[in-house]
């Protein structure tokens, strides 16, 4: 596996680079592989044989093979030279899922058998899975590198390794491109029943009946739901075996739901997870929901953007120093 | 320990780079096939058959979806092979048994390929097997096979490290390109790598296979067995004119002791005889094929001091190399065709050369004694003997009847059928019986001049035996009794006829077959001079010719490092220097040619203008441009790659149309 451990300390750490990275020869390293060393040992044995038995053609063969190795070294270097890499936007994931970093690689000519992976940090046990790519010339190729998203917040793409043993496997050239990329990690959601809604308008009914125009679907009934919305027909079909279902309607005036930090009284991470779960549920149920965190307040709304806004706020929520202690 | 292993293999993971695909296996099979195939020749039949069946088995395995053969079968097979090889070759490890083992193991390795590591090990075995071919043959064909098999093995190595979906042709093409790029480096290494003349240690007994040639002794049949052997014994390149055939006696071992059955060398004195050189010397370079003995085969009579090899001349005038000629050897020599050898013969040596076994060949002795009564002059006695061969009904044949206890008597009085050995032996016996010191000389006679490269080729079939008699005041004088046989008495034997009546080589009419053969041998000879005869001495010569006179090891190494460094830098620059990428599709390339032509003719072709827009703008002057533009579009956007012929046609149409456009039509919108 390249780079070998003993060499790591000598490779200069660079900062992540924005934009397109182009691999220049200064940052391409090369070393013989195990195969290369075996090859060298074989050649040495063959040379000794050729000298001992005075084989002119044997000399020629050994020199041809040695020259091939030399030539393949330059080709190996060339396989990485001028490679272009840039990072794309990455879709957010939830903590506990695998973040996919989307990357685009290109080269002026064909580059077979490039191995991409995320460089392991010294503490890590298992290396990240590698991705083998055969780049055709002149075309940007899209590929993804996965990385486990453990905690909410921004997951910054660590340094990468791109390596190539092409053409003969005797040498391994590698480089450490480090494109600037990050992936938003939403909190790991914990699903709990939604909190009771707050009445909107004058009717005080919740969910309001007046605007219920179009049947939009069914969901599992929760204790706070009105009896009027229960899908009795469905319940009759099931013979009462399954939980009761609630009919959902869209287009009408929605229930207004406040997901409030202060409604919960647990530690910060659990709170964040619970709120994230509520956000997802509320969005699924089609409620207008607002989010209120210390210092952040989103008015009730619906839709993908609102959901993202809320989850992002939760992902990036950092309690003010001392504030959490005071609240508990 | 585990920590240390991590460099090569991280536990618990098989990196994707180690993955071996099903499609890799035929390549590995091909690599094994090309490297073991030539060995089939000199392996015992059972071994060759088992290698072939192992290969077939692997091919079948591959067809059925490859699976590693169970360990017990593999172990059983290895044990069987070991036992068989031990039985065949004995228990002492030698060259042949090593090669056999290597060949079997590499074909067995095909049965247990698990990942890329196994295949790499297999390929290393293949590389080593390639080397072992040269134990047996190093000729031009083997050299060509070297290129081919290196190509296959390299392509295999390439295949398992590249995109597995690549098809055969581009893969082979890229491997060939790699080899071509490696050739200059190889040449530099070949010329400059300091050569050490082997062997580095004692070699197994079978290091050099049995090769025929002249022998230590002469008994009837020892030379004639060579007549069927067309192998080359030596090649000679004269620096001046090639001397006439009757001077081309290549002097080999001399025999002066006869025990009634076999002629041997009884003169072990290594004190060189006095050689009186007269006339102009002949200068030549001789390439001796390995014959495992020490004698060199110079033209009579060589100057022992002017030999480019550590050598000595024995008392009987045989030139001995200090080291046996174990490999093809190139020697510079100087010979004086006009010479006097050992004018003063000491009494001891005189007696030695009069030795005859008692109680053998009484009739011969009687005949010689009767001649002796007539004259004591060695010249007349010799003439008498030759006259006897001519006058009596002596025939030359390669199939003489077996002779009894008195071989010479039988030959001279009964059978009168024989070949050079019989004639030489009988002649020397007669001379000795008549009191003239005489001895048998063996060697080669004549040679074929290759008109292509001017080398004189002497084959084993030119082996010959002749006689020398000692004449007071004149020294040893060569007499070839076989030459006394009239041509019409040479038995109807083509080979024998060739030996006796071979025409002078000047003005020979050569057929195309002979011509082709000469050409081939000339090529082979050049090959030998450069590949096989490239010894430390020759390396020094070449380096001196390149201006590195008498270089030390350090200088050679420095030169090697410098040349390799320059070559590597040059190659890296050539390969890595960014070049403008060529358009991928042929239509676009032709379009760009058209643009260049238009620009040359003063038409502005701005970069932003699409082919169709340009063609429409210039449709008045260059109507043919429209056709070309449509072809370009077809190639680019409709996926219809046009034929190169139609592209060329369209380009020519553009060039013919319109001629030189006027300036304002072209530049109106630029």
Structure ipTM: 0.77
**Looking at the structure, do residues B157 and B244 belong to the same domain, yes or no?**
no
- How far is it, in rounded angstroms, from Cα B53 to Cα B47? 10
In a domain, B204, yes or no: no
The residue to which tokens 């059928």 are assigned: B417
User: Parallel, antiparallel, or unpaired: how do β-strands A182-186 and A153-156 relate?
Assistant: antiparallel
In a domain, B246, yes or no: yes
Query: How would residue B38 be classed by pLDDT, with cut points 50, 70 and 90?
Result: confident
In a domain, B536, yes or no: no
**Looking at the structure, do residues B468 and B340 belong to the same domain, yes or no?**
yes
CB–CB contacts below 8 A, A to B = 181
Is residue B611 a contact partner of residue B632, using CB atoms and an 8 Å limit? yes
Is residue B13 a contact partner of residue B108, using CB atoms and an 8 Å limit? no
- The last residue of one of the domains, among B110, B126, B161, is B161
In a domain, B427, yes or no: yes
In a domain, B513, yes or no: no
- The last residue of one of the domains, among B462, B484, B501, is B501
**Looking at the structure, do residues B595 and B493 belong to the same domain, yes or no?**
no
What is the model's pTM? 0.66
**Looking at the structure, do residues B338 and B471 belong to the same domain, yes or no?**
yes
- What's the mean pLDDT when you consider all of chain B? 80
User: Parallel, antiparallel, or unpaired: how do β-strands A160-164 and A171-175 relate?
Assistant: antiparallel
> In terms of C-beta density within 10 A (0-12 exposed, 13-18 middle, 19 or more buried), how is residue A129 classed?
middle
Question: For position A181, what pLDDT does the model report?
Answer: 92
Domain count, chain B: 3
Question: For position A103, what pLDDT does the model report?
Answer: 92
pLDDT at B534 over 70: yes
**Tokens (6 digits) for B642:** 């046009």
**Looking at the structure, do residues B148 and B228 belong to the same domain, yes or no?**
no
Cα Rg of chain B (Å, integer): 36
- The last residue of one of the domains, among B455, B473, B501, is B501
In a domain, B563, yes or no: no
**Looking at the structure, do residues B443 and B296 belong to the same domain, yes or no?**
yes
Instruction: Report the gap between the CA of B122 and the closest CA in chain A (Å).
Output: 11
The residue to which tokens 């200064």 are assigned: A26
Interface mutation target, options A36, A37, A43, A61, chain B, most CBs of B under 10 Å: A61
pLDDT at A96 over 80: yes
Query: Integer distance in angstroms from the first to the last C-alpha of chain A?
Result: 49
Query: How would residue B68 be classed by pLDDT, with cut points 50, 70 and 90?
Result: confident
Range of the domain at B380: 224-501
Q: How far is CA B250 from CA B294, B298, B449, in A?
A: 15, 5, 15
**Looking at the structure, do residues B143 and B229 belong to the same domain, yes or no?**
no
Residue in A64, A81, A130 closest to B15 by CB: A130
Is residue B539 a contact partner of residue B550, using CB atoms and an 8 Å limit? no
> Would you tell me how many other CB atoms lie within 10 Å of the CB of residue B609?
16
- How far is it, in rounded angstroms, from Cα B252 to Cα B461? 15
**Looking at the structure, do residues B149 and B233 belong to the same domain, yes or no?**
no
CB contact under 8 A, B124 and A38: yes
Per cent of chain A over pLDDT 70 is 85
Query: Nearest 5°: CA angle at A151, between A145 and A156?
Result: 45
Cis peptide before B432 (omega within 30 of 0): no
**Looking at the structure, do residues B149 and B272 belong to the same domain, yes or no?**
no
Residues of A in contact with B34 (CB under 8 A): none
In a domain, B529, yes or no: no
Residues of A in contact with B161 (CB under 8 A): 113, 165-169
Question: pLDDT tens digits for B89-116?
Answer: 877 677 788 888 889 989 998 888 888 8
CB contact under 8 A, A113 and B158: no
Residues of A in contact with B537 (CB under 8 A): none
**Tokens (6 digits) for B83:** 């036992």
* Residue among A223, A210, A327, A315 at smallest CA distance from A266: A327
The Cβ-side half-sphere exposure at A10, using a 13 Å CA radius, reads 7
Question: For position A76, what pLDDT does the model report?
Answer: 94
**Looking at the structure, do residues B413 and B496 belong to the same domain, yes or no?**
yes
- How far is it, in rounded angstroms, from Cα B230 to Cα B459? 6
In a domain, B396, yes or no: yes
Mean pLDDT for the stretch of residues B394-416 = 80
* Residue among B5, B187, B170, B30 at smallest CA distance from B107: B30
* Residue among B429, B417, B484 at smallest CA distance from B261: B429
Question: pLDDT tens digits for B472-510?
Answer: 888 898 888 887 777 666 554 444 444 444 444 434 455
């Amino acid at each position: 596996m390249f780079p070998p451990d003993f060499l790591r300390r000598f490779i200069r750490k660079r900062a992540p680079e924005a934009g397109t990275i182009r691999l220049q020869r200064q940052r391409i390293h090369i070393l013989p592989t195990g195969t290369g060393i075996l090859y060298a040992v074989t050649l040495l044995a063959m040379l000794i044989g050729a000298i001992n038995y005075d084989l002119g053609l044997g000399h020629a063969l050994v020199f041809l093979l040695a020259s091939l190795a030399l030539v393949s070294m330059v080709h190996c270097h060339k396989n990485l030279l001028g490679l272009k890499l840039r990072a794309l936007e990455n879709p957010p994931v939830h903590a506990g899922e695998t973040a996919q970093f989307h990357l685009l690689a290109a080269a002026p000519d064909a580059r077979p058998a490039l191995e991409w992976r995320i460089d392991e940090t010294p503490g890590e046990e298992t290396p990240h899975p590698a991705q083998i790519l055969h780049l055709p010339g002149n075309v940007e190729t899209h590929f993804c590198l996965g990385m486990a998203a453990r905690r909410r917040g921004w997951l910054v793409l660590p340094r990468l390794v791109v390596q190539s043993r092409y053409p003969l496997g005797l040498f391994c050239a590698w480089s450490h491109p480090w494109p600037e990329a990050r992936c938003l990690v939403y909190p790991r959601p914990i699903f709990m029943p939604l909190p009771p809604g707050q009445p909107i308008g004058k009717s005080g009914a919740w969910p309001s009946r007046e605007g219920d125009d179009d049947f939009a679907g069914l969901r599992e009934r929760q204790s706070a739901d009105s009896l009027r919305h229960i899908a009795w027909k469905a319940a009759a079909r099931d013979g009462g075996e399954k939980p009761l279902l609630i009919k959902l309607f869209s287009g009408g005036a929605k229930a207004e739901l406040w997901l409030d930090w202060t409604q919960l009284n647990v530690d910060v991470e659990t709170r964040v997870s619970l709120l994230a779960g509520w956000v997802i549920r509320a969005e699924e149920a089609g409620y207008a929901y607002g989010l209120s965190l210390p210092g952040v307040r989103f008015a009730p709304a619906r839709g993908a953007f609102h959901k993202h806004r809320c989850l992002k706020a939760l992902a990036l929520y950092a309690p003010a120093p001392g504030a959490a202690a005071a609240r508990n | 320990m585990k920590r240390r292993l991590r460099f090569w293999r991280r536990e618990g993971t098989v990196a994707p780079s180690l993955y071996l695909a099903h499609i890799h296996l035929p390549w590995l099979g091909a690599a094994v096939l090309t490297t073991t195939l030539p060995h089939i020749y000199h392996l015992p039949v059972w071994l060759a058959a088992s290698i072939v069946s192992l290969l077939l088995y692997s091919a079948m395995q591959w067809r059925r979806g490859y699976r590693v053969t169970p360990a017990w079968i593999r172990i059983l097979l290895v044990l069987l092979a070991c036992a068989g090889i031990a039985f065949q070759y004995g228990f002492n490890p030698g060259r042949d048994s090593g090669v056999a083992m290597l060949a079997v193991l590499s074909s067995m390795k095909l049965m247990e390929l698990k990942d890329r590591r196994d295949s790499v090990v297999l390929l290393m075995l293949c590389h080593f097997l390639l080397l072992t071919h040269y134990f047996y043959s190093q000729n031009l064909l083997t050299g060509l096979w070297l290129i081919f098999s290196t190509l296959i093995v390299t392509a295999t190595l390439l295949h398992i490290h590249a995109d597995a979906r690549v098809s055969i042709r581009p893969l082979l093409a890229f491997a060939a390109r790699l080899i071509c790029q490696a050739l200059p480096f190889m040449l530099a290494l070949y010329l400059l790598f300091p050569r050490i003349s082997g062997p580095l240690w004692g070699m197994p007994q079978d290091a050099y296979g049995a090769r025929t040639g002249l022998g230590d002794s002469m008994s009837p049949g020892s030379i004639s067995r060579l007549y069927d052997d067309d192998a080359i014994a030596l090649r000679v390149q004269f620096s001046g004119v090639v001397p006439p055939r009757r001077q081309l006696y290549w002097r080999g071992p001399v025999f002066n002791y006869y025990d009634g059955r076999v002629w041997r060398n009884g003169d072990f004195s290594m004190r060189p005889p006095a050689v009186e050189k007269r006339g102009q010397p002949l200068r030549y370079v001789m390439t001796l094929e390995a014959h495992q003995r020490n004698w060199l085969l110079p033209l009579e009579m060589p100057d022992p001091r002017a030999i480019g090899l550590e050598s000595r001349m024995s008392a009987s005038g045989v030139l001995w190399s200090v080291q046996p000629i174990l490999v093809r050897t190139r020697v510079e020599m100087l010979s004086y065709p006009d010479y006097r050898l050992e004018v003063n013969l000491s009494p001891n040596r005189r007696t030695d050369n009069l030795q005859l076994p008692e109680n053998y060949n009484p009739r011969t002795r009687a005949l010689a004694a009767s001649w002796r009564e007539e004259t004591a002059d060695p010249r007349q006695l010799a003439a008498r003997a030759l006259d006897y061969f001519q006058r009596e009904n002596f025939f030359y044949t390669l199939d003489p009847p077996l002779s009894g206890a008195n071989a010479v008597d039988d030959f001279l009085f009964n059978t009168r059928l024989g070949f050079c050995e019989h004639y030489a032996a009988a002649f020397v016996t007669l001379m000795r019986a008549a009191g003239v010191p005489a001895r048998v000389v063996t060697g080669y006679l004549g040679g074929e001049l290759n008109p292509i490269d001017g080398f004189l080729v002497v084959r084993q079939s030119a082996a010959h035996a002749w006689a020398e008699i000692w004449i007071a005041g004149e020294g040893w004088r060569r007499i070839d009794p076989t030459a006394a046989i009239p041509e019409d008495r040479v038995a109807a034997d083509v080979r024998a006829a060739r030996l006796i009546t071979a025409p002078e080589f000047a003005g020979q009419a050569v057929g195309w077959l002979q011509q082709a053969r000469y050409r081939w041998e000339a090529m082979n000879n050049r090959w030998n001079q450069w590949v096989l005869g490239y010894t430390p001495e020759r390396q020094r010569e070449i380096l001196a010719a390149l201006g590195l006179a008498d270089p030390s090891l350090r200088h050679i190494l420095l030169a090697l490092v410098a040349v390799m460094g320059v070559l590597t830098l040059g190659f890296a620059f050539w390969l890595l220097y960014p070049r403008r990428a060529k358009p991928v599709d042929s239509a676009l390339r032709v379009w760009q040619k058209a643009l260049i032509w238009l620009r040359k003719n003063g038409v502005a072709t701005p970069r932003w203008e699409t082919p169709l827009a340009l063609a429409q703008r210039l449709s008045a002057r260059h109507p043919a441009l429209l056709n070309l533009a449509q072809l370009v579009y077809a190639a680019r956007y409709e996926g219809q790659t046009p034929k190169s012929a139609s592209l060329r046609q369209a380009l020519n149409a553009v060039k013919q149309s319109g001629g030189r456009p006027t300036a304002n039509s072209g530049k109106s919108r630029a």
